[in-house]
Amino acid sequence: MCHYKIFFVFLLTVLPKVFCSCEEPYDDAPENLYDGDEYCANNPKDDLVEIQMILFGKTGAGKSSTGNTILGNNKFSTSSAAISHTDDVQYGVVYRFNRRLVVIDTPGIFDTAKDSNETFAKFENFFRENFIFFFNFDYPVLNAVLLVIRIGRLTAEEEESVRILIGRYGEQIKRCMIIVFTGKSQLDNDNMSLEEFIDTIDDNSEIKKLIQAIDNRYVAFGLKGNKSDREAEVKRLLIMIEDMDQTQC
């Protein structure tokens, strides 16, 4: 088990450098997303902090939609099907909110059609195959692991997905973890705050214990609707990442 933990620490250290080459803006990117520049790590005007985020979660939790919300475009395909629509590791990179954002979308944990070990193997193989060539420490990098959970009645699968993730990568993954609850509109419909929803979670559940272990680092995303609301949710997440003690990541 220890080699998985060492591997994950390695990922958090060098993840951003796999994206050091220039890439053109996405066809469906919002206007002026790049302010006229390509995404390029060696751009002489490039003195921004990079925030890199890895998305984990149960199939159907809304990982790809969360990634799209963070990126401000539809980079990742989404689906409401029970089988994960994300079959391989995907990534997106943008300049947004005066930051460079790198988002990694992974196949769903606890997929109805796949073994969880297969999911993790794809994630780990992706970085083994790409990372050895990308060591470059020219700019500051902040890291975060985003565990995506859909708001509603939490099932045994959500509980198990937490156990599987922690079991694979160890307790240290919690140091960089933030929980992103999706489906915020359901809370709005029920006239309930996110904190009130958290209070309804059983104290003995793995998710409630995790929330306490990560010092209550959680946010809620609506994923659809008013653009300004979605942007405010993303900014709240980015500030939370910036406020984390990165020496522990």
What integer pLDDT is reported at residue 44 of this predicted model?
Answer: 37
What integer pLDDT is reported at residue 138 of this predicted model?
Answer: 53
pLDDT in tens, 5-50: 555 555 555 444 444 444 444 343 334 333 333 334 444 345 678 8
Cα angle, residue 7 at apex, residues 5 and 11 outer, rounded to 5°: 115
Tell me if the domain spanning 2-18+32-248 has CATH number 3.40.190.290. Answer: no
pLDDT in tens, 119-148: 677 767 766 665 543 343 555 778 899 999
Q: Can you count the helices (H) and strands (E) in the chain?
A: 8, 6
pLDDT in tens, 91-121: 888 999 989 898 988 887 765 555 667 767 7
CB count, 10 Å around CB of 94?
23
| CA dist list (Å): 41 to 44, 70, 136, 157, 227 | 9, 20, 9, 39, 28
What integer pLDDT is reported at residue 100 of this predicted model?
Answer: 86
CB < 8 Å & 24+ apart, contacts of 208-216: 210/147, 210/162, 210/166, 210/174, 210/177, 210/179, 211/179, 213/174, 214/174, 214/177, 214/178, 214/179
What integer pLDDT is reported at residue 17 of this predicted model?
Answer: 46
pLDDT in tens, 158-210: 888 888 889 888 898 999 999 999 999 899 889 999 999 999 999 999 999 99
CB count, 10 Å around CB of 157?
15
* Residue 117, both tokens: 């070990």
Q: Is the pTM of this model over 0.85?
A: no
